Amino acid sequence: MNSQSGLPADLSHFGNVEGYTHYPKSVTPGLPVPAGGGLLKWYDIAEAETPVTRETCALAQRFLAAETATGRLNLNGELGFVILHRCGGDFHFLLVSSWRNANEMWETVYAKTADAPDFSLFALPGPHRATFCVWELAAVNHERQAFSRYLYSARDDAAKREYLADMYEGGA
């Protein structure tokens, strides 16, 4: 252990991702969607050559409407955002994030495999779980900054409209 940096002298056992080559994806904003009494911005994330299809986007929006209509997902009065991420092939995550308790991001994760007819809750066992991947974090980072600006504002209708119009588009 180096006393100056606090780091081990040998880092060869940390952060290795053998056989992986990273590649770019794009974040594309959509129109905000009402959901369970809340209002959510919409983002699609995918490789440029294989974007999220209109059919999958429509399916995800119908699923979200059903989840909120049945009360399984309650977003009453909340602002937030959705990420529909085409991860690879035809596997998709539907990440629903809302702002609660003034400054906390809460998330519900759904997924759809190629052979599944619809999205379903994506539950992971254990205490140490995945949150967002590096591509999703492009939209999440923008949303953190946008919501912070909103919190500093008067939080009136004009500020809400400004927050909802403040979308990220670009590389991830």
- 132-137, Cβ contacts within 8 angstroms, sequence gap of 24 or more: 132/95, 133/85, 134/22, 134/172, 135/25, 135/27, 135/45, 135/85, 135/172, 136/45, 136/83, 136/85, 136/93, 136/95, 136/172, 137/172
Q: What is the mean pLDDT of residues 17-38?
A: 95
In a domain, 61, yes or no: yes
Both tokens assigned to 164: 């909802």
Per-residue pLDDT for 24 more than 80? yes
In a domain, 18, yes or no: no
Q: How far is the C-alpha of 85 from the C-alpha of 9, rounded, in Å?
A: 38
Residue in this structure with the two tokens 């909103």, named with its chain if needed:
150
Q: How far is the C-alpha of 71 from the C-alpha of 131, rounded, in Å?
A: 23
Over residues 104-134, the pLDDT tens digits come to 999 999 999 999 999 999 988 888 888 999 9
> What is the phi/psi pair of residue 32, to 5°?
-60, 150
For residue 74, the Cα-to-chain-centroid distance in whole angstroms is 17
In a domain, 1, yes or no: no
3 state DSSP class of 127: coil
Question: Which of 163, 144, 10 is closest to 79 using CA atoms?
Answer: 163
For residue 72, the Cα-to-chain-centroid distance in whole angstroms is 19
In a domain, 8, yes or no: no
In a domain, 164, yes or no: yes
Q: How far is the C-alpha of 123 from the C-alpha of 111, rounded, in Å?
A: 9
Q: How far is the C-alpha of 83 from the C-alpha of 61, rounded, in Å?
A: 11
Q: What is the mean pLDDT of residues 18-32?
A: 96
In a domain, 7, yes or no: no
Its domain, for residue 112, covers 26-171
What domain count does the chain have? Answer: 1
In a domain, 147, yes or no: yes
pTM summary value = 0.93
In a domain, 88, yes or no: yes
Both tokens assigned to 141: 């980072």
Q: Quickly state the pLDDT bin for 88 (edges 50, 70, 90).
A: confident
For residue 119, give the amino acid letter.
F
Per-residue pLDDT for 2 more than 90? no
Q: How far is the C-alpha of 40 from the C-alpha of 101, rounded, in Å?
A: 17
